[in-house]
Amino acid sequence: MVFARVQTNDFSQQALYDELCGGAVSQGAGAIVTFTGLVRDFNAQGGIQGIELEYYPGMTESALNALLTQASQRFDIVDAGIIHRVGKLANHAQIVWVGTASQHREQAFLAATFIMDMLKQSVPIWKKEWQGDQATWVVAKTNDDKAAMRWLSENQDNACD
């Protein structure tokens, strides 16, 4: 039961775990890995008051589903899910949840890492950071580019450096 959703509302990590686990256990899962990303209250220039995420309706969901398909083809997982929030988010709010299920932990961890690394590169979601009443669009970070590039190298299919 692969699922990908974009939403403005907060999410329950427990409910998402239960949703993922429900189908995965019946498919022989012995490992479930989850990741939750939060809004930080700082950036390289100092403190921020929150972020605003914009997306391309329809295209963003398609890109998330394509990413889950890639992860399923690349790793031995039985299920996976992504929830990504959009809109204005306060500091420490949940932004993204990724869950993967596999028979063994290594593939679940690799798949979750792959999804997060590639999400920042391939999914049309744009971020503004708020400092006071000023908003600044955030450009892709070099580290995020490097993280995605390692997966694009055919020589490192399952590398987790």
pLDDT in tens, 29-85: 899 999 999 998 877 677 888 999 999 999 999 999 999 999 999 999 999 999 999
Specify the CATH number for the domain of residue 103.
3.90.1170.40
The predicted pLDDT at position 160 comes to 53
pTM of the model: 0.88
70: left (phi over 0), alpha (psi -120 to 50) or beta: alpha
CA 35 to chain centre: 8
Asked if the structure places residue 159 within a domain, the reply is no
Query: How far, in Å, are 8, 42, 84, 134, 156 from residue 153 at the CA level?
Result: 34, 32, 26, 39, 6
- Which is nearest to 99 in space by CA: 77, 121, 76? 77
- Average pLDDT (105-111) is 97
Is position 106 within any domain?
A: yes
Residue 157 belongs to some domain of the structure? no
Average predicted confidence (pLDDT) for the chain: 90
Q: How many distinct structural domains can be found in the chain?
A: 1
Tell whether the model's pLDDT for residue 156 goes beyond 70: no
Any domain includes 65:
yes
105 in a structural domain: yes
Cβ distance 97 to 34 under 8 Å? yes
158 within domain boundaries: no
Residue 17 lies in a domain: yes
Q: Which domain holds residue 61?
A: 3-151
Q: What pLDDT shows up at residue 76?
A: 96
